[in-house]
Amino acid sequence: MVESTTRGQPAPQPQTVTEAASVAALPIEDYALIGNTVTAALVGRNGSIDWLSFPRFDSPACFASLLGNARNGRWLIAPREPVRQVTRRYRPDTLVLETHFRTAGGEVILTDFMPPPRGDGVVELIRIIDGMQGSVEMGMEAVFRFDYGSIVPWVTRRDFGIDAIAGPDALQLRTALPLEGRDETTVSAFTVQAGDSISCTLAWFRSHRPEPDARDPATALDATERFWRDWAGQATDMTDHWREPVMRSLLTLKALTFSPTGGIVAAPTTSLPEVLGGVRNWDYRYCWLRDATFTLYALLHSGYRKEAEDWREWLLRAVAGRPSALQIMYGLAGERRLWEQDLPWLDGYAASRPVRIGNAAHQQLQLDVYGEVIDALHAARDHHIETDDNTWEVQRKLLEFLEGEWRHADSGIWEMRGRKRHYTHSAVMAWVAADRAVQAVERFGLDGPVDQWRALRSDIHDEVCRRGYDSDRNCFVQFFGGKTVDAALLQIPQVGFLPATDKRVIGTIEAVQRELMVDGFVRRYSTHEDIDGLPPGEGSFIICSFWLADDLVLLGRTREARHMFERLLAIRNDVGLLAEQYDPRAKRLLGNFPQAFSHVGLINTAHNLSHVRGPAKRRSGHH
């Protein structure tokens, strides 16, 4: 259980819509996630829901004040009197969030959750206010806006609350609270006494469909708690020492899974910046192929075989088609058109513009994803997940394409928007593709031109060691002929390309520590406009620090690895969540939040530190 208290400083205060219109969103770390495996919302420690897409992760947001201001949509429930203290926590092994407000007059707990999908397409979010002590003056402000804050719906008063409709979208707010319309906002002022319990149920549905039936909030709460606790109870190999952070990460990963298809989104948000006020703002509400292997190991080593199988099946469906048309990311069901566009009416988080939806990187050539896909399929086979002839045929076709393409320049793992280069990591992952194909024949008896693949594996290995290694610096470099290092090179021993004890690998690890570490955390690479085509500057990339810890485990330097891991655990927010990046000097989380890749890294590193044969050792032992 994770709980946080603000002491010695004022708690975040709610503002009216007029007051909040020009007020910046909370720090990223002040948000918590609630979700239902179809979509998700971010709840601030001030009681405001500032981000929510209906009905799916990638749908236009209904609450978008996270990327603008209160007029772009939010739902605030909080004391109207000064707040002395705020604590919050998730109920154990659930995604049910409790925010505990303390005022001079008393105490209230705000419970936020999203029930599991109903099956009829209706999506619900329920908020329950419980009086714990004394008397507290409370307020509610609901600013409903469709299409990322650009559409004001038509609101109708009903005997149970209100309806809000615009085009295909409809919302229904059911509550006993007295409601008033003011300045295109639904507001309520009320008093909560000890023992009172007041609920608000917000349901989204298609406007042309029948309105949803009412559900008892207390019954829905019980069912939601049971859903998450039953799922958490399936975990295996959980170390007592790190059970809480690993389970919170697993629950987050489950929450970011689109249950109808098994796809896992990188994050539920778009355009949270990699540097405050900057332009590195991307839409992460899609499924990345390169996450596949890491995610499979995290799920399988934690006992979640069904989720791993669903993810593998999503992967196979997504990559179906011509190998030359393979994308680096897809939509929740494998959709391919993820066109990028700007939303100029949103000011951006911390004035970080542009706000983008869609992601142009889906059209990039990134050769490493071929290796990631083949490695993921191999990992599934290695864990005895059933396959058919079609799965092997997909792998063979991907490798057949890669044989003729691996020498080409690409955009690399970090999706560089500058000119293409021969990235060392991309070539290493091409080697992984050939290596796993050889092993498919040697270990699993599958049919294929193994001598040809052995020759390909040898050719790629020689090329990488010749052109991707700088003998003067004794380290591998970011791209052939370059002089800088890249944290992706930390993967070299983990995929089995070379052992961790090889002097070239040790030299590379030391170079990363020397050149990319800032106050104990690892950056992806040195950001320069001539490298990635964007203005310089970003935070440390959280999973890269986990990769460094994994390499230290492979080297037998477990004390250092443990210290690195504990340092990373310390930057989680008060409810155990991680963003994509971290600014160690400002002590701020950066980038989209919460980030699946960061939590996958946490899970895998915990297993690497806890087991003789963790994910890194198992993966590196393939060769």
Residue 520's pLDDT band (boundaries 50, 70, 90)?
very high
- Nearest-5° Cα angle at 417, 413 to 419: 95
42/386: higher pLDDT:
42
Task: Pick the closest to residue 334 from 304, 366, 310, 300 (CA basis).
Answer: 310
Phi-psi region of 74 (alpha: psi -120 to 50; beta: other; left: phi over 0): beta
Q: What domains lie within the chain, and their CATH numbers?
A: 4-227 (2.70.98), 260-618 (1.50.10.10)
- pTM, entire model: 0.94
pLDDT tens-digit readout, 395-436: 999 999 999 999 999 998 888 877 899 999 999 999 999 999
pLDDT band at 506 (very low <50, low <70, confident <90, very high): very high
- Considering only CA atoms, give the Rg of the chain: 25
pLDDT in tens, 586-606: 999 999 999 999 999 999 999
Residues 6+ apart with CB under 8 A from 321: none
pLDDT in tens, 254-266: 999 999 999 999 9
272 vs 353: CA distance, rounded Å: 10
Residue 11's pLDDT band, with cuts at 50, 70 and 90, is very low
pLDDT, tens digit, for every residue of 65-92?
999 999 999 999 999 999 999 999 999 9
| Predicted local confidence at residue 620, as pLDDT | 80
Q: Which of 19-28, 185-194, 363-372 has the highest mean pLDDT?
A: 185-194
Question: Tens digits of per-residue pLDDT, 146-173?
Answer: 999 999 999 999 999 999 999 999 999 9
Contact 152, 166 (CB under 8 A): yes
The pLDDT value given to residue 24:
61
Tell which residue, 538, 495, 219, has the closest CA to residue 379: 495
pLDDT, residue 478, reads: 95
Structure confidence by residue, pLDDT tens digits, 218-251 = 999 999 999 999 999 999 877 668 999 999 999 9
